[in-house]
Chain A
Amino acid sequence: MIQLLGFLILPAIGVIALAVKRLCSSIMSDEKIVFGVILATAFLFFTGLFLGFAGISINLVSSIDFAFTLETNGLSIPFMLLAVVLPALGLWSAHHEIKKNTNLFYIFYLLSYMSLIMIFISANLISFFIFWEVVLISFFFIIAFWGDEKIRKRASMKFLIFTQFGSLMLLGAFILMFLYTGSFDINVISNLASTIPSPIADVIFLFVLITAIVKMPIFPLHSWLPDAHVSAPTSGSVLLAGVLLKLGGYALLLFGVLLFPSITSLFQKPLIILGVFTAIYATFVASTQNDFKRLIAYSSIFYMALVFVGLASMSYFGESGAVLLMVSHGFIVGMLFVLAGILKKKTGTRDLNKLGGLMARMPVYTLFLTIAIIATLGVPGLSNFPAELLVFLGAYGAYTLSLVSLVGVLIATNYYLGALKRILFSSLGKTLSKVTDISMSDAIQLSLFTIPIIVLGIAPNLLMGAFNLLI
Chain B
Amino acid sequence: MINSEYVLFAGALVLILIDFLRKTLGVESKKSLHYATLILLFLAFIVELFYGDMNLPFFSSTQYTGFINSFILFIALAIYAFFLVDSEEHSAFMDFLFVFATLGALLVVISSNLIALAVSIELISLASYGLVFFQKSDRRMEGAMKFVVLGFLSFVIMLFGISLVYSGSGTLDFTGLSIINYVPFIGGIALLMVGLSFKSTIVPFHMWAPDVYEASNGTVTAFLSSVSKTAGLVAMIRVFFYAFPVSSQFVSIMFIILAISTIFFSSFLATVQDKIKRILAYSSISQAGFAFVGVSVLNTQGISSAVFYIFTFAIADALIFLSYKIFEDNKIIYKKDMPLMPAVSKIATICFFIGILSLAGFPPTMGFFGKLLIFSALLQNGYITYVIALFVILLFSTFYYFGLLRELILEKSVFKIQKISGNLHAKEAILIILTIALFIGVIFVGL
Contacts and interface: CB of A to CB of B under 8 A. Distances in A.
B partners with A: yes
Interface of A: 22-23, 60-61, 63-64, 66, 100-101, 104, 126, 129-130, 133-134, 137, 140-141, 144-145, 153, 156-157, 160-161, 164-165, 168-169, 171-172, 175-176, 178-179, 203
B346 A144 contact: no
Contacts of B363: 126, 129-130, 133-134
A137 B346 contact: no
B175 to A, nearest CB: 28
A153 B406 contact: yes
A143 B253 CA distance: 42
Nearest to A19: B350
A157 B401 CA distance: 11
B207 to A, nearest CB: 28
Nearest to A101: B410
B274 to A, nearest CB: 16
Given A175-B375, A176-B379, A157 B399 contact: yes
Contacts of B182: none
B377 to A, nearest CB: 9
Interface in B400-434: 402-403, 405-406, 409-412
Contacts of B49: none
B399 A161 contact: yes
A175 B379 contact: yes
A362 to B, nearest CB: 34
Contact of B410 (A60, A104, A157): A104
B445 interface: yes
Q: Summarize B's interface: helix, strand, loop or mixed.
A: helix
B364 A179 contact: no
A467 B410 CA distance: 43
Q: Summarize A's interface: helix, strand, loop or mixed.
A: helix
A165 B375 CA distance: 15
B445 A61 contact: yes
Contact of A161 (B373, B384, B395): B395
A313 B443 CA distance: 43
A64 B380 contact: no
Contacts of B391: 165, 168-169, 172
B442 interface: yes
Nearest to B346: A23
Given A165-B391, A176-B379, A64 B445 contact: yes
A132 to B, nearest CB: 8
Interface in B99-124: none
Nearest to B403: A157
Residue picked from B364, B395, B406, most chain A C-beta under 10 Å: B406
B400 to A, nearest CB: 10
Interface string B175-203: 00000000000000000000000000000
A61 B346 CA distance: 32
A280 to B, nearest CB: 30
A161 B406 contact: no
A137 B357 contact: yes
Contact of A60 (B357, B375, B442): B442
Nearest to A103: B410
Residue picked from A141, A171, A179, most chain B C-beta under 10 Å: A171
A141 B375 CA distance: 27
B252 interface: no
Contacts of A100: 410-412
